[in-house]
Amino acid sequence: MRNFGYLRAASAAEAVQAGAAPQVQFLAGGTNLVDLLKYRVEQPAALLDINRLPYQHIEELPDQGLRLGALVTNAATAYDARVQTRYPLLSSAILAGASAQLRNAATNGGNLNQRTRCPYFYDVAAACNKRQPGSGCAAIGGHNRGLAILGTSESCIATFPSDMGVALRVLDAEVRLLGPAGERVVPMAEYHRLPGAEPWRDNNLLPGELVTAIDLPPAHFGQHYTYLKIRDRLSYAFALVSVAVGMRLDKAGHIQEARVALGGVAHKPWREPRAEAVLAGQLPTAEVFGAAADELLAGAVGQGENNFKLALARRAIVRACQQAAAGTPQSQSDKHIR
Ligand SMILES: Cc1cc2nc3c(=O)[nH]c(=O)nc-3n(C[C@H](O)[C@H](O)[C@H](O)COP(=O)(O)OP(=O)(O)OC[C@H]3O[C@@H](n4cnc5c(N)ncnc54)[C@H](O)[C@@H]3O)c2cc1C
Ligand code: SF4
């Protein structure tokens, strides 16, 4: 391992000032960043440990939403009674990810900022525009079984690997940031980027900006929701395709509102208003869910090894919508898909 400095931020102001320097990276739980150091994918001059900053709590908001501190662990978030009761979709998505040990160390801010799992990104001998701008993309025409089918570019076909982020997209969460120029709030929809011609930029964070919290608006998907994750193994594996759904039904069983987001298929959690418009006002049938899936997947293109994701995603969307409509969310403990 190469030498690097270690700094510990005593205050948020100190963190954003020091973090704006080139080659300085924030260290939270370290479950992704330390691996990237070992592989020499990241080679910072210094790590800036933010673990003592005051973002360790989950707080009530005046509008009956919840504020999730950036340094609250994924486990503490998933098992918080308020999250379990009011935002069960979020709890379920977090518990679908990684392992119990990892979730005990991984933080909410780190989860949003974790890097792609494209195998070439981790192989410093391979061409990768995300790791080394201008070097090419070995995944295009290469081993791309786990990679994107939506929103890709000629420069990169990577996916964003988070499960939590997919649920946050359905919940219309907002990300609170603190940077050298002050505070700002970014909707989840605008936090992550598509790769375009600058695939090295995963998100819209500015230099030195720190995620301080994630705000959840007042809850309304307590009954009809699901997080369905399709993966190679039943645990400890990233999504090939995942689907987060939140629905509200009226007394006659019509869909009043539906939100659907996909993971494992794009450089950001994928949501398409046209698909949700297809569902609004309809009875929850397989045909209607299939029509919504077609809208959600409009423009999807296989890259070779991952062509199977086109059919897999369509079936997963239909199944997830059926689970949500029936009020029988996917279990993250026995993991059998019913
Ligand atoms: C074997 C394995 C399996 C996994 N499986 C899954 C899975 O199935 N689903 C899933 O969603 N995840 C999975 N993960 C990823 C895991 O969830 C992430 O590694 C974790 O959430 C990152 O959080 P962290 O606090 O450890 O971040 P770190 O590793 O400390 O940091 C990650 C990145 O975020 C930046 N960062 C951290 N905090 C902040 C902040 N507050 N503001 C700005 N930038 C920040 C860091 O600078 C770094 O670039 C897996 C990880 C491993 C190792
Ligand atoms: S898909 Fe993106 S991350 Fe993977 S090799 Fe290509 S440029 Fe790199």
**Percent of the chain's residues with pLDDT above 70:** 100
What the block records as the tokens of 192 is 């992550």
Nearest atom in ligand 2 to 140's CA = 6
Dist CA 96 CA 163 (whole Å) = 7
Q: Residue 59: what pLDDT?
A: 98
Q: Where are the chain's structural domains?
A: 5-49, 224-326
pLDDT of residue 210: 97
pLDDT score of 286: 98
Encoded amino acid at 246, one letter? G
Residue 1, pLDDT > 70, answer no
Domain 5-49 architecture: 2-Layer Sandwich (3.30)
Cα–Cα dist 90/177, whole Å: 21
Is the CB of residue 217 less than 8 Å from the CB of residue 61? Answer: no
**Alpha carbon distance 19, 179 (integer Å):** 9
Among the atoms of ligand 1, which is closest to the Cα of residue 71? 41
Amino acid residing at 47:
L
Question: What's the CA-to-centroid distance between 94 and ligand 1, angstroms?
Answer: 12
Residue nearest to atom 48 of ligand 1 (CA): 33
Q: From ligand 1's centre to the CA of 107, what distance in Å?
A: 7
CA of 272 to the centre of ligand 1 (A): 26
At residue 200, the pLDDT reads: 98
- Going from the Cα of 236 to the center of ligand 1, the distance in angstroms, rounded, reads 14
Atom number of ligand 2 nearest to Cα 195 = 2
The chain-wide mean pLDDT, for the chain, equals 97
Q: Does the pLDDT value for residue 123 go beyond 90?
A: yes
Residue 235 corresponds to which amino acid? S
Nearest ligand, CA 303: 2
How would you classify the pairing of strands 255-263 and 66-69? unpaired
Percent of the chain with pLDDT over 90: 96
Across the range 35-39, mean pLDDT stands at: 96
Report residue 335's pLDDT band, with 50, 70 and 90 as the boundaries: confident
214-270, pLDDT tens digit by residue? Answer: 999 998 799 999 999 999 998 889 999 999 999 999 999 999 999 999 999 999 999
Binding pocket residue ranges, ligand 2, CB within 6 Å: 116, 118, 120-121, 128-130, 137-139, 147, 156-158, 199
3-state secondary structure of 178: strand
**Which residue is closest in CA terms to ligand 1's atom 17?**
111
CATH tag, 224-326: 3.30.390.50
Q: Three-class SS of residue 220?
A: coil
| Shortest-distance Cα residue to atom 8 of ligand 1 | 97
